[in-house]
Structure 1
């Protein structure tokens, strides 16, 4: 027996400068505000959404004395990354162009995870690029990931052996 999880409902993150992060997630990434609360103690929380879902991302001011800033090295963060899926390659290119015009530095990519660019037949095939939010949390925009159909293993047994041979004989790479 297990839990039949269908996906991630939302991601909540603590931020060091609420106003800066609020502007980033709403003005740069374009999330819509469902609710923005300021408590009597001055702390703030915002419930943000992509479409009609009540919230997909929640940002909240970090408690006093808690450092969640980019001063924390990437390998010491509690959240490794947050990946945002876009509909297709056109939206992927729009997102890249938009972030560039907003002055967001792309840290890695664009790349394709798989046989196309990193010789990895086990990769998802998704196109991705990575950047940081104002606190240094790594974010990803991606599209076109492979599907794992009918509970099969990946890559599909229908073509795994042929791809392994292709990598060895035509690319000179062991899998």
Structure 2
């Protein structure tokens, strides 16, 4: 089977301790622009025309008296700052669907997708590399050319910001925390 052929390295998502401090650094020091937010928990930043080159996600506060990864209730579960995922651009949905077959033929663990994010409106498919890193394929990301009238908006942290298709195109079961949030169930 022909391998996946990404067109370029895309965006990164970092887990951060203090999202406001990190936004200040990336906007005031690095000169990036805010494209959108999800609540006060995630921000999408751009250096060029892509909706985001970098996204920052707030690490959850540990439960009182807790310091173990199992005590955090985010998706996926992280207890330290650092890389959540990096991504590669593919041509279109057809290539993403073909990528599913390639990944399955190589017994690669698919984590989430195919879906369509709210902020950036990009299609996504996330899977694990041999070391357990999250790798995302994406396409059809919103473009914000320089001088655009784009205004950052704040999305609610809900199913529409996570997957506008509402899991209809997922090739694996959706993450339980998102299913619980969709149903209003507390996890």
TM-score by length of 1: 0.41
More strand by share: 2
Higher relative contact order (CA 8 A, sep 6+): 2
